[in-house]
């Protein structure tokens, strides 16, 4: 029987909050890994992050926003020129179309300013709840849960929910964790999924929440072997650096 079904609701809530506190201790510096200076930049960067890495997006957005700094400029951009800038992100023609249409909608409906409400954000072309919550939580300070592939995979491994629909996952986790912690929890779970709890071979033996995880043993349990699987590790006081030989 899955752990989430074997636990009482109270026991599940207590375990979920213990995991949340452990993640907060492990990743106190967790943050949005997309670079941005304002809500528009974050919104566009999040749209561009589909099917590519945040690192790749961060390489192209300085050029993108230097050339087209606001919604009006983005909406009026030369398509061929923007495609050339966005080419490294993949699907650059579709993404160019998305950025231009998104900027045009912001210009037309909201006078060029990104709205700060979920109900408004999700009406924009190409913006779903995940993207809206990224923008709300990180650009507007409105708590939100970002259910990306890492987040959904990990909370199911932890037995927080059996749901696979992102909206249902969002609501299930929201019932377990205080609203004030939603945005940071999203970052911490995503950090853990990228660095330790990999999809194919989780580093169970090097995991800070192993004792709380009902899926412990799905991955490598030997501490030395598991440590080699960490995609990133951090020396105290130092920024993240790639771990050689990582296996995501």
| pLDDT tens, position by position, 38-63 | 999 999 999 999 999 999 999 999 99
Query: Alpha-carbon torsion 13, 19, 21, 24, what sign?
Result: negative
Percent of the chain past pLDDT 70, that is, above it, reads 91
Go through the domains of the chain in sequence order and give each one's CATH number: 3-28+146-233 (1.10.1670.10), 39-140 (1.10.340.30)
**The pLDDT value given to residue 235:** 38
> Strand ranges (DSSP E) for 8-72?
none
* 7 — pLDDT class (breaks 50, 70, 90): confident
**Number of residues written out for the chain:** 248
Q: With pLDDT > 90 as the criterion, what percentage of the chain qualifies?
A: 90
Q: Would the pLDDT of 183 be above 60? A: yes
Please say if 80 is a catalytic residue.
Answer: no
The predicted model scores a pTM of 0.85
| Structure-model confidence comparison of residues 241 and 118, the more confident one | 118
Q: Which of 35, 70, 148, 181 is catalytic?
A: 148
148 is catalytic: yes
d(CA 192, CA 136): 22
CA max distance for the chain: 57
Closest C-alpha among 147, 74, 144, 92 to residue 116: 144
């Amino acid at each position: 029987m899955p752990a989430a079904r074997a636990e009482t609701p109270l026991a599940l809530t207590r375990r979920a909050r213990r995991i949340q506190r452990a993640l907060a201790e492990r990743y106190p510096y967790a943050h949005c890994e997309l670079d941005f200076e304002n809500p528009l930049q974050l919104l566009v960067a999040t749209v561009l992050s589909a099917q590519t890495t945040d690192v790749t997006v961060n390489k192209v957005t300085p050029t993108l926003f230097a050339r087209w700094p606001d919604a009006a400029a983005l909406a009026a951009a030369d398509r061929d020129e923007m495609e050339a800038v966005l080419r490294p992100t993949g699907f650059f023609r579709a993404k160019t179309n998305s950025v231009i249409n998104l900027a045009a909608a912001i210009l037309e409906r909201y006078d060029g300013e990104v709205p700060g409400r979920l109900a408004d954000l999700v009406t924009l072309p190409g913006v779903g709840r995940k993207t809206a919550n990224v923008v709300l939580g990180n650009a507007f300070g409105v708590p939100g849960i970002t259910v990306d592939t890492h987040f959904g995979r990990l909370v199911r491994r932890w037995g927080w929910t059996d749901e696979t629909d992102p909206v249902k996952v969002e609501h299930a986790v929201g019932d377990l964790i205080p609203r004030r912690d939603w945005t940071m929890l999203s970052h911490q779970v995503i950090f853990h999924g990228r660095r330790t709890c990999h999809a194919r071979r989780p580093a169970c033996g090097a995991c800070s929440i192993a004792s709380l995880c009902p899926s412990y043993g799905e991955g490598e349990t030997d501490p030395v072997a598991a440590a080699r699987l960490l995609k990133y590790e951090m020396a105290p006081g130092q920024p993240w650096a790639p771990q050689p030989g990582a296996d995501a």
